Structure 1
Amino acid sequence: MLKIVFLDRDTLSPETVLRAPAFPHELIVHDRTAPDEVAERIADADIVISNKAPLRRESLGRASRLKMIAVAATGTDIVDLAAACEQGITVSNIRNYAKHTVPEHTFALMLALRRSILPYRQSVLDGRWQQAAQFCFFDHPIADLGGSTLGIIGNGTLGKAVGRIAEAFGMTVLVAGRRGSNEVKPGQTPFDEVMRRADVITLHCPLNAETRGIIGTREFALMERKPILINTGRGGLVDEEALEQALDDGPIAAAGFDVTDGEPPAADSPMMRIAARPNVILTPHVAWASREAIQALADQLIENIELFVAGTPRNVVG
């Protein structure tokens, strides 16, 4: 009988159905697990499920029975993949479950900022419409997506889906090549050119050593069209201090973020300092979290575990 330990069940909504794997097992479920609790909780596990609880070298080294880490997400930066490989631990992740929910959230942020939806709502609540004494008023800027240029960083499943929606809106789509490279693949545009030409920039790449801080002071200085910056990827992709400065100094017009570098963000963090600005929308890492998407994730998670136990592992990382 295999022992399965789920370290952070609360990262999936309470209404999500997590069916039992179709093989003999013992399932231990923790609502959440602090980093200093991980090692003890996985010490005698055969399979570990984690969404955000970190699985680092020291903890893995104490888990002598561990055979599989089933990541309940697409991003695998919570796992020390090198250590897992050295111990012969298979790591799997979830793929393509968020192909609707994340692009839709991306455009919700984009439309709300481009059309000043929240500032206009607040103005109505504050009585400004009555003060205007006519059928409308023009206190906040409004711009169309149609005819504008979208820069996409990260051209995987989500980046491609965002691009298709953008084209339906009548946007010109630029897919960024690798930062710092003069060579681009067919269909891509040099990274710095995307920074200069885009009216909206959206991030859909994984967080790793190469992409951490991919948008910082240098990149903000290139943004000639004062774009909106959208991040539904990972918080660490953007230098948050530089983002705050860019909003102060004007290289960008607005920011729509669903992620922060460290979650939840500290009360005095740059993201919380800017969160109340009328040209900023910060949502609590819920772009992925439609009912349909979370259930698809949970179903795929159990299937990944069953396939591993059956000897045909799927979605193996590293």
Structure 2
Amino acid sequence: MPLTPTHLPSKPTVVFLDVATIPEHINIPNLTFEHQWQQFDLTSPELVVERIHSADIVITNKVKLTAEVLSQAPNLKMIAVAATGTNNVDLEYCRDHNIVVTNVQGYGTRSVPEHVLAMMFALKRNLVGYHQDIAAGEWQKQKQFCFFTHPITDVAGSTLGIIGSGSLGQAVAVLAKAVGMNVVFTERKGVTPARLGYMAFDKVIKTADVLTLHCPLNEETTNLIAKPEFEKMKSSAVLINAGRGGLVNEFDLVEALKNKQIAGAGCDVFTQEPADESNPLIANMDLPNLLLTPHVAWGSQSSIQALCNILMDNIEKFQQGVSQNRVVG
């Protein structure tokens, strides 16, 4: 049953706080209802209150909307998150103050899995290490038509452990099976016995050749993979994190790579973004078995366009009084 959209003014103000997170060549659909549109390339924390003060609808990708900030936006009725993750929004405050929060789901089910598999192949075949060796003149020193300074292992026939069985985890599984991998979904940490279709967390940690993370970041999953897990993993195992930076303890990951507790790691997400030189991954990015990308796994052109289409449709549906992709409200 549609909701009556009487809570919106006749000409609501819509504010996009960080439109520069969408590449310029991507078309952001126009809203069909009468409204006032304001957009900013980026919004620093000190400018958030000023920019949302009169807004009825706020669009944010990564700008943080805390309770303190939201309490100073008396007209706010909706927050449209231009992403799947909503950890940058105080959802409890929104529930208590009848602010609808929507997100975008399912847009990256091609882009993210392909990025994960690309990282997997690069790490299993040590492409970064060989590239660095050629740049360092190793080929000339070896005086052979080829050289083997790093192990090369097959993807086909190896076991992929997936933490997170949502749309992205499922899509990764489809591609992994297509290239001949054995796929297991991991039960939540500490949950025993494992549910049907899942394998116990510790068992996956100990047996997986590749471990990939696609679960939400919350109190239970922060530092989900840290020193105790690295100590249990195969020395030939590869870790890929295209989920959230805080899922992996970055200091422990660097130590695990240096101590050869695991064979390699690919990270598309970081605890702080953008990551600077103080981040242990950035500080050690010359490691041949560490592959870093700047949170772009989701970013194929088709995926970003799909995201924008769903994002703006969420707002259209809200204005019509129809519930769609609501996290709160």
TM-score category of the 2 structures, normalised to the smaller one: over 0.9
| 2:296 pairs with one of 286, 291, 297 | 286
Partner letter of residue 220 of structure 2? E
Do residues 250 (structure 1) and 298 (structure 2) align?
no
CA distance in 1, matches of 2:301, 2:41: 19
Shift of 1:126: 4.0
Partner of 2:187: 177
Partner of 2:242: 232
Partner of 2:23: 13
Distance 1:126 1:276, change over 3 A: closer
Of structures 1 and 2, the one scoring higher in RCO (CA 8 A, sep 6+) is 2
Partner of 1:94: 104
> Does the 8 Å CA contact 2:53/2:74 hold for their aligned counterparts?
yes
> Does the 8 Å CA contact 1:197/1:225 hold for their aligned counterparts?
no
> Does the 8 Å CA contact 1:5/1:45 hold for their aligned counterparts?
yes
| 1:193 pairs with one of 203, 228, 233 | 203
Distance 1:299 1:174, change over 3 A: same
> Does the 8 Å CA contact 2:235/2:260 hold for their aligned counterparts?
no
Do residues 115 (structure 1) and 130 (structure 2) align?
no
Partner letter of residue 210 of structure 2? V
| 1:273 pairs with one of 253, 264, 283 | 283
Shift of 1:168: 1.4
Q: TM-score, normalised by structure 2?
A: 0.94
SS of equivalent residue, structure 1 residue 16: coil
Shift of 1:156: 0.5
Partner letter of residue 163 of structure 2? I
> Does the 8 Å CA contact 1:198/1:225 hold for their aligned counterparts?
no
> Does the 8 Å CA contact 1:149/1:200 hold for their aligned counterparts?
yes
SS of equivalent residue, structure 1 residue 317: strand
Partner letter of residue 181 of structure 2? M
Shift of 1:233: 0.6
Partner letter of residue 237 of structure 1? L
CA distance in 1, matches of 2:126, 2:217: 30
Q: Which stretch of structure 1 is more off in the superposition, 33-42 or 43-52? A: 33-42
Partner letter of residue 150 of structure 2? H
Over 4 Å off, 4+ runs: none
Distance 1:178 1:242, change over 3 A: same
Distance 1:135 1:226, change over 3 A: closer
The residue correspondences of 1:1-318 to structure 2 (distance < 5 A) are 1-318=11-328
Q: Which stretch of structure 1 is more off in the superposition, 170-179 or 49-58? A: 170-179
Shift of 1:279: 0.5
Partner letter of residue 316 of structure 1? R
Give the count of matched residue pairs: 318
Partner letter of residue 253 of structure 1? A
Q: What is the CA RMSD across the aligned residues, in angstroms?
A: 1.3
CA distance in 2, matches of 1:127, 1:138: 14
Partner letter of residue 161 of structure 1? A
Gaps of 5+ in 1: none
Partner letter of residue 132 of structure 2? Q
CA distance in 2, matches of 1:295, 1:136: 43
Per-residue Cα deviation, 1:195-252 (whole angstroms, up to 9, x for no partner): 0001111001111111111111121122134411100011011111111221122221
Shift of 1:57: 0.4
Shift of 1:63: 1.0
Shift of 1:273: 1.6
CA distance in 1, matches of 2:83, 2:119: 22
Q: Which stretch of structure 1 is more off in the superposition, 292-301 or 219-228? A: 219-228
